[in-house]
Amino acid sequence: ATPVALVTGIGRGAQAGVLVKDAAALERLSSARTLLIDKTGTLTEGRPALTGIVPAPGCDLAEDELLRLAAAAEAPSEHPLARAITGAAKARGLALPPAENFAAAPGAGVTAIVSGKQIQLTRAEEGGAERRPAGGAPASQDSATLVALLIDGRHAATLALSDTVKPTTPAAIAELHRLGLRVVMVTGDREGAARAIAGPLGIDAVHAGATPASKQQLVRGHQARGETVIFAGDGLNDAPALAAADVSIAMGAGTDVAMASAGLVLVRGDLRGIVKAIHLSRATLRSIR
């Protein structure tokens, strides 16, 4: 596009809530047919709520004690799952002891020393909690994210957290399909939770259990097949994938790191912004012909 067309496009984008940080990305967007998209905070609200605490076999700690230790360890974290866990502890009026030696691994979990105990919160698979209790989990937990709580290296409980799909997501996905895009979900969450969200939305493919590095590898894999790849995400865990994508789109309500890594930022933080950005990029390119 000509500089004039691009400046006009950038101005129209700003009015529509699409901040264009990289004008070349706006041009590349018009030819992209592959959208890789994060689940938590992008397709969903990213404000999960704690819906269950299941003590591990042989663990005799009370539910409130399990929650107190988990919340204390998560208190320094800004992750949505951490906020859900500390929020639930607060709602129960639990006093949280300080966390020492706190460390967070993006896309994996946190560790800290609380009341002299080594506390870890990790993906449930790693804590061995993916095995369902006898009788199976209630259907309402099918889309739940499961987090394992380990105390001094032993599995003490599984926490279930549920997030809701943004009300604007279903229509936006349908519109993206109409515009000719293939929509692929990439998430750090477990397979079951990912498929329970992706199925009703008509998402074309699902990659679950992803790490920040594997999200980036997936972008590169599609590029190696000659595709122009859009990646949309909101988190610290999405930053490497955003940096590798041909067009990177961050949710305006997301982390600063995601916004810094992106070429386009959606002010209102929902997927209608991607639809607007695609219309804008196609119109901007047309205006030079």
CB atoms within 10 A of CB 137: 16
Q: Could you confirm whether 38 is annotated as catalytic? A: yes
- Stated as kind and residue range, the H or E segment containing 126 is helix 124-127
Q: Which is nearer to ligand ADP, 30 or 187 (CB)?
A: 187
Spatial CA neighbour of 250 closest among 220, 228, 273, 227: 273
Residue 171, both tokens: 């229509």
CB 10 within 8 A of CB 215: no
Is 237 a binding residue for ligand ADP by CB under 6 A? The answer is: yes
| DSSP three-state, residue 137 | coil
Of ligand ADP, Mg ion, none, which one sits near residue 44, judging by CB under 5 to 8 A according to partner kind? none
Whole-angstrom distance, CA of residue 107 vs CA of residue 105: 6
Is 40 a binding residue for Mg ion by CB under 5 A? The answer is: yes
Return the residue of 19, 29, 53, 121 that touches ligand ADP, per CB under 6 A.
Answer: 121
Is 263 a binding residue for Mg ion by CB under 5 A? The answer is: no
Of Mg ion, ligand ADP, none, which one sits near residue 79, judging by CB under 5 to 8 A according to partner kind? ligand ADP
Residue 48, both tokens: 């999960």
Q: Are strands 145-151 and 117-123 parallel, antiparallel or unpaired?
A: antiparallel
Is 270 a binding residue for ligand ADP by CB under 6 A? The answer is: no
Q: Which is nearer to Mg ion, 30 or 143 (CB)?
A: 143
The one-character DSSP state at 54 is E
Q: How far is the CB of 38 from Mg ion (least distance, A)?
A: 4
Q: How far is the CB of 3 from ligand ADP (least distance, A)?
A: 37
Site residues, ligand ADP (CB under 6 A): 38-40, 74, 77, 79, 81-82, 107-110, 121, 123, 145, 147, 187-189, 235, 237
Catalytic annotation, residues: 38
